[in-house]
Structure 1
Amino acid sequence: MEQEIVKVFNEQYEEIGTATRAEVHEKGLWHETFHCWLVNKDYIYFQIRSSQKKDYPGLLDITAAGHLLALETVEAGIREVKEELGLDINIQEVVRMGMTSCSIVSEKMIDNEFCHVYLYPFEHDWESFELQYEEVSGVVRARLDEAESFFLGETVTLNIEGYEYFPDGQRGRVVRPVSTAQFVPYRELYVAQVIQFAKNEMFK
């Protein structure tokens, strides 16, 4: 299997070389990722990570995200939306929020990322999704105001709804409350900032 090569940066976001995806996680090297959140004036959407994933299987995560390869532009990261969710959109349809840094340390890896964050105004229905099952096993959503309160730490549970998909093409309805333990451990307040940007800059 061909290894993915990514750019490596210092903490000041100065490029200092390249490394494999495995190396950056093993050594805690700073690298770039692309985040695309699906939002509208009522909801924010999350993916359910596949149970086949090595890292954080089954947890809720950014709607679509992935590593930027060494030869890719930031805009090329929009491919992740097509690959993971089956939505055919282009970079002109998304709104750039900016770049943020995120550091997650676990037993398996040290993940230091410079994240290029984009938002897509999603107005389609559940039938629009064609998931890459090895990566994503479902899509759920939460009400924007409720999610903002939850990620600000004002509430301890968040109501989600959506669908989990199975390898045979069937899907099951998901309606349940979740806690922070069901989410990939983002940097504190990151998702709240995404929601605030959506409300203030996209859906005034």
Structure 2
Amino acid sequence: MAEIWDLYDAERRRTGKTMMRGEPVPRGFYTLSVSVWLTNGRGEYLLSKRHPAKKFPNLWECTGGGALAGEESLEAGVREVREELGIVLRPGEGRLIYRTRRDEFRDFYDVWLFRHDAPLSSLTLQPEEVTEARWASRGEIKRLRAAGLLHPLLDYIDGIII
């Protein structure tokens, strides 16, 4: 099923216009993208490995994606985690840790943090999106990035996670 995304103006106001996922974002408009970091009681972060057929194949990342038409940022993040990892989060337990407008991608990008202690065996990975999941320490995330194995768009993590 095709995803429909809302279009926003440069001030992050919904315009009432929409677009289909995969189409170029029209000039002067933006979409909304979200990521969700999950951390456990040991201070580790849940990473998932991107499917080899996706852009940035086989790289580790936190869960995320585009907000569907009508969705708010937090709602989109909770949905993405449920779809890709099978984890049901309580929206009230999330905390917004980063927000920016990325002109090069024509999107607004929000990053949420949740505490969640899920054993890996309890995850249900969405096969067309995720091939593996793992808990990683800050040091492991830093080493993955240094080795070129972390999604390059996670460059904001300095000072937030690492």
Instruction: Give the TM-score normalised by the residue count of structure 2.
Output: 0.81
Corresponding residue to 2:107 among 113, 136, 152: 113
Partner of 2:149: 182
Instruction: Give the TM-score normalised by the residue count of structure 1.
Output: 0.66
Partner of 1:87: 87
The one-letter code of the counterpart of 1:142 is A
Query: Percent identical across equivalent pairs?
Result: 25
Cα deviations by residue, 1:31-63 (Å, 9 ceiling, x for unpaired): 10121101135212211001232x11211122x
User: Do the aligned partners of residues 36 and 178 (structure 1) sit closer, same or farther apart at CA in structure 2, a change above 3 Å counting?
Assistant: closer
Q: 1:1-204 residue pairs with structure 2 within 5 A?
A: 2-16=1-15, 17-24=17-24, 29-40=29-40, 41-53=42-54, 55-62=55-62, 64-77=63-76, 78-102=78-102, 111-144=105-138, 146=139, 150=142, 158=143, 179=146, 181-186=148-153, 188=155, 190-195=156-161
Structure 2 segments unaligned to the other structure (5+ residues): none
The structure, 1 or 2, with the larger RCO (C-alpha pairs under 8 Å, 6+ apart) is 2
Cα deviations by residue, 1:93-127 (Å, 9 ceiling, x for unpaired): 322224223466xxxxxx33212221111222221
User: Do the aligned partners of residues 44 and 114 (structure 1) sit closer, same or farther apart at CA in structure 2, a change above 3 Å counting?
Assistant: same
Partner of 1:108: none
Q: Find the structure with the greater CA-based Rg.
A: 1
Query: Counterparts of 1:52 and 1:119 in 2: how far apart (Å)?
Result: 27
SS at match of 2:158: helix
Query: Counterparts of 1:14 and 1:76 in 2: how far apart (Å)?
Result: 17
- In 2, are the aligned partners of 1:24 and 1:31 still within 8 Å (CA)? no
The one-letter code of the counterpart of 1:191 is I
Query: Counterparts of 2:91 and 2:49 in 1: how far apart (Å)?
Result: 24
Structure 1 segments unaligned to the other structure (5+ residues): 105-110, 151-157, 159-176, 197-204
